[in-house]
Structure 1
Amino acid sequence: MSGPVGTGLDHVRHWVFDMDDTLYPREQGLMSLVQARINAFVVEAVGMAPDEAAVLQRQFLDEHGTTLAGLMASYTIDADRFLHEVHDVPLDGLEPDARLADQLKALPGRCYVFTNGAREYAHRVLNHLGISDCFEGVFAIEDAELTPKPAPSTFRKMLDRFGIDPHRAAFFEDTPRNLEPAKILGMATILIGDGHGKPLGDHIDYIAPDLHDFLSDLSFKDAA
């Protein structure tokens, strides 16, 4: 499940990254701002007290992959309004990351972002981090027709969109269950962080507390 990377990823030429709490440290707090907006939206949409809405929102996450998918399955809501309102957060606490930009550009092959977040928000975050030009493409929730990870169909759409061979790809993610479809498809899987207390499993090839350190430890026998 974990251990030294060495040259174990020599075959990879497609580097796919989740964005939130993966490309930047969870401690920078961006997702807590998004979460607060999601909870407020659920309170309004469902008409529950905030504590009850928070329980429902966590249930939606567990059962549907995103709060939006759960809301759409059970209520009539404006999905575009949801995506705009919950992602319209300030990025002041997010630190630009020149070191990460250098590390991504040093990887052999191409890099992509695969996020359950909204497209405009993803580009805002990548621009703020200073890493937009490191990626060949961004696959956001709109590209998935609002069907989030870990749906296998969404993984296939992402692979098809970018022409990625999953057997030559690696996927970095902070949510353990989102790595399961990637592993089934043949991708190398790397969990960033502690998994938020969720169960791990043998579908995770590597566990890396810190993305910087993991990328620094990579070495390649043949980068052609």
Structure 2
Amino acid sequence: MNLNLSHIDAWVFDLDDTLYPREQGVMALVQARINAFMIDAVGLPEPEAKVLQKQFLNEHGTTLAGLMANYAIDAETFLREVHDVPLDSLEPSPRMAEALARLSGRRFVLTNGARCHAARVTERIGIAGLFDGVFAIEDMDLTPKPAPSTFRRFLEHFAIDPHRAIFFEDTPRNLAPAKALGMTTVLVGDGHGHEIGDWIDARTPDLLSFLEPLPLRDAA
């Protein structure tokens, strides 16, 4: 890692597949719930509903945003139902708790998931008490990443200087607006096969691989 992080005083983390490994399968469970909700909401056979859902993701950032733009659905019902998944596969991580606790500055979660989901996940991992704030889809007025307005709202809400902030995220396109605003950007994982552009400052196979080796001058 060649990044100089001595100026960083705000550490911002996506939630799912970032603060825990994708292999633990939580998002697969959420996705199955989203698929089922989508089929019921649009009244299409499963193959056609999946095509439409992919279109919604590409055009609106989340399935929920696409559904709200095209169908009469209740957002609270959607968020409650799709995030009501068991977390048995999610492993508590004392190593992650220790790595986060070492960071000098404030720590935040910025997620397109629901508040209740963020609370359950961070509690299960054992890191819930380590964050200075959580900014979830409800706080975004249901306008998800990568909308630039959502990043601006997040930064303003917590009085974060983007030039002194670093953002960790597993979806490459969600890092682009953060970089445009001046944040340092780190892609966690392989990018899910999506384009990885020059708006990404660094890459790491998993979050712990990035955080644990940080020298004490960057993380105290």
Instruction: State TM-score, norm by structure 1.
Output: 0.96
SS in structure 1 of the partner of residue 144 of structure 2: coil
AA aligned opposite 1:74: N
| 1:200 alignment partner AA | I
SS at match of 1:217: coil
Comparing 46-55 with 35-44, greater Cα deviation is found at 46-55
Matched, 1:211 2:217: no
Q: Is residue 15 from structure 1 mapped to residue 34 from structure 2 by the alignment? A: no
Q: How many residues align?
A: 220
C-alpha distance in 2 between matches for 1:217 and 1:184:
27
Alpha-carbon distance in structure 1 between the residues aligned to 2:211 and 2:66: 35
2:153 aligns with: 157
Q: Give the unaligned 5+ runs of structure 2.
A: none
2:165 to 169, 185, 191: 169
**SS of 1:15 mapped into structure 2:** strand
- CA contact 2:5–2:218 (8 Å) conserved in 1: no
The answer as to whether partners of 2:56 and 2:67 remain within 8 angstroms in 1 is yes
In structure 1, list runs of 5 or more residues that go unmatched.
none
Counterpart in 2 of 1:40? Answer: 36
Deviation at residue 62 of structure 1 after TM alignment: 1.0
Q: Whole-Å Cα distance in 1 between the matches of residues 124 and 130 of structure 2?
A: 13
Cα distance between partner residues in 1 of 2:119 and 2:51: 30
Equivalent residues in 2 for 1:36-115, closer than 5 Å: 36-115=32-111
Spell out, residue by residue over 1:113-161, the C-alpha distance to the aligned partner (whole angstroms, 9 max, x if none).
Answer: 0000001111011101100011001000000000000001100111111
TM-score by length of 2: 0.97
CA contact (8 A) 2:171 2:187 kept: yes
